[in-house]
Structure 1
Amino acid sequence: MQIQNYILVTMALFLIATCKASAEATFREIEFNVYGQYPVRNVTYLPINEAALKSGEEVPEPIEIKTHSLARTGPYSYKGDSHLQFYDSTNKNLVAQLTIPPETGRWLLIFVRNPRYKSQSEQQLKYLVYPFDDSLSHLPSNGLIFLNISGKELDGLLEDKRVNLDAGESEIYRVQESLPINLWARSFDGKKLLPALIKTYKFAPNHRYLIIFFPPVLTGSADLDVRFLSESVK
């Protein structure tokens, strides 16, 4: 329950921020990839919305998105205002929605299962979606960002640098050949520090990296579900 509440608070704060940022959003074109902790299937979206349709665009066919465990999937494109909705392809129910901030036109939409959906399926959407700014200006070549949506506050060392990784995105770290990472999280009772990630990552030149911390796969475990996304920058 603690992890679920932490995730929901994190996502809610981000959604509030993006809604405020989009108050003056205008007609725009957006390119995005998708990623999920678990595979996303039978989910579609319309590549243009009502604002674009009113400008004379033809009604398009829905586009199905799919996620894979080790890489971004896409790209997909969208034209309209900043509000993007996703639907179940089998019953047409709304399963996710988000407001995309105005900063850039390239995003990585990260789908997370809504922990309240099972018990409140009539009131809750199936997925929460975190929009990560995936532009080169935000995550450049030879750069690394940590995205913590695990529900845990992490403390430890990146090589010999002390770090605290709270909810959301970290600063950008410059990477070279390898980086030893030793991160710890408190137990549920708050009395112990448990290893959450002890690993040395290898890096290639002219790539950029995103490490996502998802909640542990096993309830009660301290081992985070960690995803290491690498992309070549030509």
Structure 2
Amino acid sequence: MQLHNHIHAFILLLITTISAGAQPAVREIEFNVYGQYPVRNIEYRPIGESSIQLGEEPPAPVAIKTHSLARMGPYTYKGIEPIEFYNAKNQELVAKVTIPPDSDKWLLIFLKNPRYKSDPNGQLRYLVYPFNDSPSHLPADGLIFLNISGNALDGLLEDKRVSLGVGESGTYRVQESLPINLWARSFDGEKLLPALVKTYSFTPNHRYLMIFFPPVLTGSVDLDVRFLSESAE
């Protein structure tokens, strides 16, 4: 239980830190969505209150949903305020995210908030990680690792030694295939255990995001890995 609390606290801190660095400004944002687990019956208002006060017509809410294999969208938002997401049936606020100023194209990654179950009145149902999904940040034939597993990872990309700490890696150039061997420390810190051993194949002129979620099984270091591919054309 202590380990899972540590992982969940880390994820919350990471998302909060990214959102805290944002500088709100009136702009139009395009985003896709993705979820560690399927997200259904959720909607958002594509125009912020500040934009409505400036004369924008308030549009109808827009429903979103996530898929386990690909980005879903695109969706748009115009305003200053954080994007808020609601339960479509009872209008309960279930998630919100402040978009950093780095880009106007984002991938919003939904994770179940582990603190919601014990404190539903004080916590939102989902945490949302904003990933800069612009072509300048993740270009064609590029690969970025997003480590929100709660573990520091060490190993090899083919024959190149790497250390993947928390958050996003730099961009790696990829070709046809890439053997990945990553290891994590056991929970007592005594041993290194395999977290991911696999060879991935790549298609030219695509861009790739590999997300490391916390292990599904308690006590395991086997990563819950999602490998997102998108054509750069």
Q: Same fold (TM over 0.5)?
A: yes
**Residue matched to 1:98:** 97
**Residues in 2 aligned to 1:156 and 1:230: alpha-carbon distance in whole angstroms:** 23
AA partner of residue 19 (structure 1) = A
- Calculate the aligned-residue CA RMSD, in Å: 1.3
AA partner of residue 56 (structure 1) = G
**Residues in 2 aligned to 1:137 and 1:30: alpha-carbon distance in whole angstroms:** 16
**Residue matched to 1:81:** 80
Q: Confirm or deny: 8 A CA contact 2:10 2:150 kept in the other structure.
A: no
AA partner of residue 92 (structure 1) = Q
Deviation at 1:230, TM superposition (A): 0.4
Q: Confirm or deny: 8 A CA contact 2:48 2:81 kept in the other structure.
A: no
Q: Confirm or deny: 8 A CA contact 1:184 1:195 kept in the other structure.
A: yes
AA partner of residue 3 (structure 2) = Q
Where in structure 2 are the equivalents of 1:181-200 lying within 5 Å? 181-200=180-199
**Residue matched to 1:131:** 130
AA partner of residue 171 (structure 2) = I
**Residues in 2 aligned to 1:159 and 1:76: alpha-carbon distance in whole angstroms:** 37
AA partner of residue 228 (structure 1) = F
Deviation at 1:17, TM superposition (A): 4.0
**Residues in 1 aligned to 2:10 and 2:121: alpha-carbon distance in whole angstroms:** 20
After TM superposition, the structure 1 stretch with the greater mean CA deviation from structure 2, 6-15 or 99-108, is 6-15
**Residues in 2 aligned to 1:156 and 1:178: alpha-carbon distance in whole angstroms:** 17
Answer yes or no: is 1:222 the counterpart of 2:227. Answer: no
**Residue matched to 1:150:** 149
TM-score (norm 2): 0.96
Q: Deviations over 1:114-163 (max 9, x none)?
A: 11111111111111100000000000000000000111111110011111
**Residue matched to 2:70:** 71
Q: Confirm or deny: 8 A CA contact 2:49 2:81 kept in the other structure.
A: no
**Residues in 2 aligned to 1:198 and 1:141: alpha-carbon distance in whole angstroms:** 25
Q: Percent same amino acid at aligned positions?
A: 66
Q: Confirm or deny: 8 A CA contact 1:82 1:101 kept in the other structure.
A: no
| Structure 1 residue ranges, 4+ long, deviating more than 2 angstroms after superposition | 1-21
**Residue matched to 1:39:** 38
Deviation at 1:233, TM superposition (A): 1.1
**Residues in 2 aligned to 1:43 and 1:99: alpha-carbon distance in whole angstroms:** 18
**Residues in 1 aligned to 2:156 and 2:81: alpha-carbon distance in whole angstroms:** 38
Where in structure 2 are the equivalents of 1:153-164 lying within 5 Å? 153-164=152-163
Answer yes or no: is 1:172 the counterpart of 2:171. Answer: yes
Q: Confirm or deny: 8 A CA contact 1:34 1:67 kept in the other structure.
A: yes
TM-score (norm 1): 0.95
